[in-house]
Chain A
């Protein structure tokens, strides 16, 4: 009778392949190995087949001369530069429109989201109409609308709208004077950097003082004064080392100065107005999520409505808003690839478009482009998650 009892105790000494921990580890290892094998065979198979079909592979093309022009470039670029450089030109154009779009969409979204909850009937209705209209029209149509319906009817260069003979608006873009930096301008930059540091220190000091004594300090006005005053002082001390280059009509078009091309303007307007409508709804939901008791309590303490909104409602609403904001920022960045419809030279149009077509190396080009969007999106995600952590309710 002792034997069966021994068997009952067996699990403790069971063979190692019967242990759950071992089995779990085994199957996970097998799965990882299988995935690696599939990935490896896909990779080698692709290479083999591309070679068999006589399609060039590898990244050697990146150093070849591109030989085509690009409408807008933030870095020095012309036809003699390489395909690799077209990648950076496209990337910077994508980042430019995404960054501007995110800033503008956030601004529009917060204003409209708060406006929709406004006690003023007209303001609330205007915000509602804006949100419901722009949220429900496909983005591509909106981009086309801004490009073809709004910007193209502008006058031709020779009939440009002129603002003080320095700013010109026509259907080729908005021409503004460009700064020309002369020797000694570096001090202005240094002064500005110093001002920024000073403002940060000032803000910290002001907060500590308020927490300690309850007295407020006019941080905003002093900061503005520092940020403008210090660089201005440096500018005057160095003998105004900057001049303006004015755009002038030469031949077919304006030359000199800086230009905001209509493609950028249309894309930026469409992206920020479209995404702004979604952000407005996120803001509204965030504010509504804060219990009304909070508002009443703030009023009871004697806070004015503006201060209540800024110091009581918004900080609590942010907890709800930020995760939604993250996905809207990601959407906006990814939607910027619709640029190709109106000829804005973003990464997809330049690199995954012309460069892909001229070199024919679809696999490499598409892989690089996908990697870029993935990197941008993950960076935004990581940043917003960090910000979300910081803003989460700290229970005291």
Chain B
């Protein structure tokens, strides 16, 4: 099944690359005319993108898709989701099968330059860590010499693991799987000593274990993993829409606008707030959107803090602290350029 999707996506790249010509503005126009955003998400990662039994997708990454839909259509529900494995994701975006990719994807130089993609921002600052069984008695990653690791194929994780063990002159055995569920299954079955992935994922995967208490996340973080939404190159207007949808959520948090008070805030005298809500300044014209684009995002999805707490923070089973993902003025790294 997976392989078939992969093959289809690859064939699609070959085919579309061979038959169509890229046009500036093509993606944005296509999205507007078909009336929804086709968004690439993970095949199921609690907190970031996962579907419930009724097929409703939720998560921090899903909220970026919904924010873009709210900005473009004024309705956060106008999104269709394409679940993708790590291996399939870039091909799907290159071929135009999806309009945007919001799938815990690490921003790197190679991906930004040689894949024909553009990263629109960072919606989660992450780092790679290790999940080990408690009864292994390991307290630090440095004690993992000679261990076997379950990894998801096609990720930066594969490369970081190799770098880390090479730099520390330790040996290791990688066992790579297509999907993160498979890595969890193999880890539970004892095929590997440790599971390595981005720390946020480790917390999400840990609660998928039959007995989450039997495993622990080691304290070491061995890499920088800025995760964010991605679009294909060649449509700068669309790139702007995705990028500023994320920035609008961050600015809203900074200015204290949330889904609960957005209508009351319309009365605000603060020029910063008025600009975000499209009452003053450039409004939506620069982006080619409705003036209420940011207000629609806040109404339909909420600000960044709301999305974070609801999906991965204290209001979720993951209970991840804001940490690096707090706003810049609260000790974190999240910093959005001003809307003016």
**What is A's interface to B at a CB cutoff of 8 Å?**
42, 45-46, 48-50, 52-56, 67-71, 79-80, 148, 152-153, 156, 171-172, 250-253, 255, 262-263, 337-338, 340-343, 345, 348-349, 353-354, 356-360, 362-363, 366
A343 touches B166 (CB 8 A): no
28 A-B interface contacts by CB (under 8 A): A46-B18, A49-B17, A49-B18, A50-B116, A52-B234, A53-B116, A54-B116, A55-B94, A67-B162, A68-B161, A69-B158, A69-B161, A71-B173, A79-B166, A148-B185, A153-B189, A171-B191, A252-B145, A253-B173, A340-B153, A341-B3, A343-B176, A353-B153, A354-B158, A357-B154, A358-B159, A362-B14, A363-B17
State how many angstroms separate the Cβ of B86 from the closest Cβ of chain A.
7
The answer for the CA separation of A337 and B7 in the assembled complex, in Å, is 12
Neighbouring B residues of A70 by C-beta, 8 Å: 174
Given A52-B22, A53-B94, does the pair A252, B114 have CB atoms closer than 8 Å?
A: no
B22 touches A356 (CB 8 A): no
A46 touches B154 (CB 8 A): no
The answer for the CA separation of A50 and B232 in the assembled complex, in Å, is 12
B90 touches A340 (CB 8 A): no
Q: Which of B157-178 contact A (CB under 8 A)?
A: 158-159, 161-163, 166, 172-178
B178 touches A356 (CB 8 A): no
Which B residue sits closest to A171, measured CB to CB?
A: B190
Q: Which of B2-23 contact A (CB under 8 A)?
A: 2-3, 10, 13-14, 16-22
Neighbouring B residues of A252 by C-beta, 8 Å: 136, 144-148, 193
The answer for the CA separation of A148 and B186 in the assembled complex, in Å, is 8
The answer for the CA separation of A343 and B91 in the assembled complex, in Å, is 21
A357 touches B153 (CB 8 A): yes
State how many angstroms separate the Cβ of A346 from the closest Cβ of chain B.
12
The answer for the CA separation of A357 and B89 in the assembled complex, in Å, is 9
Which A residue sits closest to B138, measured CB to CB?
A: A252
Given A251-B145, A252-B193, does the pair A69, B174 have CB atoms closer than 8 Å?
A: yes
Instruction: Verify if B142 is at the interface (C-beta below 8 Å from A).
Output: no
State how many angstroms separate the Cβ of A75 from the closest Cβ of chain B.
17
By the criterion of a CB under 8 Å from any partner CB, how many residues of chain B are at the interface? 55
A46 touches B148 (CB 8 A): no
Count how many pairs of residues, one from A and one from B, have CB atoms less than 8 Å apart in the complex: 153
The answer for the CA separation of A262 and B91 in the assembled complex, in Å, is 31
Given A46-B18, A349-B153, A360-B111, does the pair A253, B147 have CB atoms closer than 8 Å?
A: yes
CB < 8 Å: which of B2, B13, B86, B175 contacts A343?
A: B175
State how many angstroms separate the Cβ of B232 from the closest Cβ of chain A.
7
The answer for the CA separation of A348 and B10 in the assembled complex, in Å, is 13
B174 touches A68 (CB 8 A): yes
A156 touches B190 (CB 8 A): yes
B22 touches A68 (CB 8 A): no
Which B residue sits closest to A153, measured CB to CB?
A: B189
Instruction: Verify if B182 is at the interface (C-beta below 8 Å from A).
Output: yes
The answer for the CA separation of A148 and B185 in the assembled complex, in Å, is 9
Given A71-B174, A255-B146, A362-B13, does the pair A53, B22 have CB atoms closer than 8 Å?
A: yes
Neighbouring B residues of A48 by C-beta, 8 Å: 21
Q: Which of B173-200 contact A (CB under 8 A)?
A: 173-178, 182, 185-186, 189-191, 193
CB < 8 Å: which of B3, B14, B87, B234 contacts A357?
A: B87
Which B residue sits closest to A55, measured CB to CB?
A: B116
The answer for the CA separation of A118 and B165 in the assembled complex, in Å, is 57
The answer for the CA separation of A220 and B116 in the assembled complex, in Å, is 64
CB < 8 Å: which of B16, B21, B144, B158 contacts A68?
A: B158
Neighbouring B residues of A348 by C-beta, 8 Å: 3
Neighbouring B residues of A68 by C-beta, 8 Å: 158-159, 161-162, 174
State how many angstroms separate the Cβ of B319 from the closest Cβ of chain A.
30
State how many angstroms separate the Cβ of B263 from the closest Cβ of chain A.
42
Which A residue sits closest to B144, measured CB to CB?
A: A252
The answer for the CA separation of A135 and B158 in the assembled complex, in Å, is 37
The answer for the CA separation of A338 and B178 in the assembled complex, in Å, is 11
A250 touches B190 (CB 8 A): no
CB < 8 Å: which of B115, B182, B191 contacts A172?
A: B191
Q: Which 8 A-B pairs have the closest CB atoms?
A: A357-B154, A360-B115, A55-B116, A152-B189, A79-B162, A56-B114, A53-B116, A69-B174
State how many angstroms separate the Cβ of B181 from the closest Cβ of chain A.
12
CB < 8 Å: which of A50, A250, A343, A363 contacts B182?
A: A343
State how many angstroms separate the Cβ of A55 from the closest Cβ of chain B.
4
Q: Which of B116-135 contact A (CB under 8 A)?
A: 116
Instruction: Verify if B110 is at the interface (C-beta below 8 Å from A).
Output: yes
Which A residue sits closest to B9, measured CB to CB?
A: A362
CB < 8 Å: which of B20, B144, B146, B176 contacts A349?
A: B176
Instruction: Verify if B233 is at the interface (C-beta below 8 Å from A).
Output: yes
Neighbouring B residues of A56 by C-beta, 8 Å: 114-115
